[in-house]
Structure 1
Amino acid sequence: MKLSVRLQNFNLPPQEALPLAKKMGLDGVQLTIGSGPHAPENLDSKARQRLKETVAQLGLRITAAGAGGPEFVYDDPERRQALLTRTREVMQLAADLEIPVCISHIGIIPEDESDPVRAHMVAAVSAAAQIAADHGVIMAIETGPESPFVLRSFIDQVNSPALKVNYDPANFVIWPALLAKRSGKKYCEREALEAFIPTEGVNVLGPYIVHVHAKDALVEPSGEARETPLGEGWVRWNRFFDLLDRYGFDGYIAIERERSGDKLAQIQQAADYLRSLELHRK
């Protein structure tokens, strides 16, 4: 099991967070390059080279980069062009840093394939995926606001070899509760888990998964979603990794901690849990 961590979750300057990742025995880090200190406009060619050298000297790899938004839902030509210009800048940075995967939140995909918003998204994501391919980078959609079935149909519709998936099983727990709250509907656990299948969704998206977020969550009786330590939520981790093995996944498992509290302790707990899980699965 190759372990990574979302560097931003340390809540520390990169020069302090990188050595900590190494000290924890992790294999790599996921950067955030859509904004912040590692955004394209904040790293000139010399800074990019220095960052590469720093990571390499620590014996780490940059396993992926979070490109963030904006959402790929615009039908306005000027806004779409601005989006694609930004995509080109981000993919060039990823190529310069030799980052294999750029993770994107593309917006909420409509279920109906005839929805005009979906058509706009297909066109925009197709163009973005081509930009990624031109730079030798994989564009990975982060799982979340739509079910695995809807995401799979969208990826099939785009039909680009450069478009893959960053699988975050906890997002399939969290998002149905968020969507129910937004719509004013009562959250139904049975319906949510049947539609979004957090663990079994690997059977739907398996061929496209290139990177994974290790995050866990549950939904309280009140209908509020809550992130938990790994192993204390609704993700069935043994089954999850069995399914990844079935589909030949050999990528990185990146620890992601978005809850408040002692980030270092949370990241260490997650790393310890995953290593223990791997030990008992052998």
Structure 2
Amino acid sequence: MTGQATVQWTLSGFGDEIDDDPVLQIAVLQALGANHIEVRSAWGTNIVDLTSEQLAELKKLLDAAGMGVSAIASPIGKVDVTLPVEHEVERLRRAANAAQVLGSRYIRIFSFYYGEGVAVESIRDDVIERMRALADVAEESGVVLLHENEKDIFGDTPDRVLDIIESVNSPALKVAWDPANFVQVGVKPFDEGYAKLRPHLEYLQVKDARFADAVVVPAGEGDGDLLRTVEALKADGFEGFASLEPHLAGAHGLGGFSGPTAFGMAARAFAKVVNEAGVETK
């Protein structure tokens, strides 16, 4: 442990990596010491497709358990860039409504897929146009968008993420840092991305991966530089959310799964990292 004073971050996690049932999601997260949840889906239905009745029921369950919502893990921007701007604007309005109902200020988004054989540079202007439109909705709605550096989208490298953030230039668009995704596109997260993106980094997604085979592994067991990143964030005064997204049992286009046991392994692995860095979670 470093000699500096301990700081405290707020632990959260993707509930649907545990189970489809939000009651089990909440129970496992609380057993692991988390009092917040990142909501991607409930009862097997994506957050942007939940009915008003389902959102009300989810809010009731969360309130009864004293559980806060760290972010809405929306699928916005995980579509082909050739779709009309309005397609994702409309879905973001639903995500913003979910954020309002569930009491969260953050919504995770992405920066668009593109077709095989399409040069990534050729879609830049279309991406920026769409991201600006999404940021406008966020500003109107009083929420903050967190861009995740998902592999195979426009913003999958630090330079392109920075291009998006600086070009859109909105207080409602920030960075969610996912080291595993950087590893999977051949980027050394800390060495190649941290200094560039730290001024915009608002949210930490806890996931690690190996360069050798791109396999996702528990925090600190891959090449994602988790310990160096946590130590640097601590030194920089970061006090935000750290959200577990283990992906240890499988991944698919709209998310991943771990199950309660693997999710617990992921939480314990991250606890080792933050303990070594002198960071506490609450």
TM-score tier after normalising by the smaller chain length: 0.7 to 0.9
1:185 maps to: none
User: Larger RCO: Structure 1 or Structure 2 (Cα < 8 Å, ≥ 6 residues apart)?
Assistant: 2
Q: Show CA shifts across 1:176-217 (max 9, x none).
A: 3xxxxxxxxxxxxxxxxxxx2312322211121121111111
- Write out aligned runs for 1:256-275 (5 A): 256-260=245-249, 263-275=259-271
Pick closer, same or farther for the CA change 1:70–1:97 going to 2, 3 Å: same
Task: Indicate if the aligned counterparts of 2:180 and 2:208 stay in contact, CA closer than 8 A.
Answer: yes
Residue segments in structure 2 that go unaligned for 5+ positions in a row: 1-8, 115-119, 251-257
Q: Which amino acid aligns with 1:205?
A: L
Q: Show CA shifts across 1:119-148 (max 9, x none).
A: 111111101111012111111110133321
Task: Indicate if the aligned counterparts of 1:218 and 1:234 stay in contact, CA closer than 8 A.
Answer: yes
SS in 1 for 2:248: coil
- Write out aligned runs for 1:120-269 (5 A): 120-145=126-151, 146-176=156-186, 196-200=187-191, 201-220=193-212, 224-260=213-249, 263-269=259-265
SS in 2 for 1:219: coil
1:65 maps to: 72
Pick closer, same or farther for the CA change 1:126–1:244 going to 2, 3 Å: same
Aligned partners of 2:140, 2:43: CA distance in 1, in Å?
22
Aligned partners of 2:57, 2:205: CA distance in 1, in Å?
27
Pick closer, same or farther for the CA change 1:116–1:57 going to 2, 3 Å: same
SS in 1 for 2:150: coil
Quote how far apart the aligned CAs of 1:236 are: 2.3
SS in 2 for 1:68: coil
Aligned partners of 1:103, 1:226: CA distance in 2, in Å?
23
What TM-score comes out, normalization by structure 1 length?
Answer: 0.80
In the alignment, is residue 17 of structure 1 matched against residue 22 of structure 2?
no
Residue segments in structure 1 that go unaligned for 5+ positions in a row: 177-195
Pick closer, same or farther for the CA change 1:214–1:41 going to 2, 3 Å: closer
Q: Which amino acid aligns with 2:125?
A: A
Task: Indicate if the aligned counterparts of 1:73 and 1:124 stay in contact, CA closer than 8 A.
Answer: no
Select the residue among 50, 56, 61 that pairs with 1:42: 50
Q: Percent identity?
A: 23
Pick closer, same or farther for the CA change 1:115–1:277 going to 2, 3 Å: closer
2:105 maps to: 100
Task: Indicate if the aligned counterparts of 2:220 and 2:269 stay in contact, CA closer than 8 A.
Answer: yes
Quote how far apart the aligned CAs of 1:50 are: 3.3
1:8 maps to: 16
Task: Indicate if the aligned counterparts of 1:34 and 1:66 stay in contact, CA closer than 8 A.
Answer: no
In the alignment, is residue 56 of structure 1 matched against residue 63 of structure 2?
yes
Quote how far apart the aligned CAs of 1:273 are: 2.5
Quote how far apart the aligned CAs of 1:252 are: 1.1
CA RMSD, Structure 1 to Structure 2 (Å): 2.5
Pick closer, same or farther for the CA change 1:99–1:279 going to 2, 3 Å: same
Aligned partners of 1:167, 1:158: CA distance in 2, in Å?
18
Pick closer, same or farther for the CA change 1:23–1:35 going to 2, 3 Å: closer
Quote how far apart the aligned CAs of 1:152 are: 0.7
Q: Which amino acid aligns with 1:199?
A: F
Q: Show CA shifts across 1:135-183 (max 9, x none).
A: 111111101333212211221011111011111011111123xxxxxxx
Task: Indicate if the aligned counterparts of 1:32 and 1:67 stay in contact, CA closer than 8 A.
Answer: yes
Aligned partners of 2:249, 2:41: CA distance in 1, in Å?
22
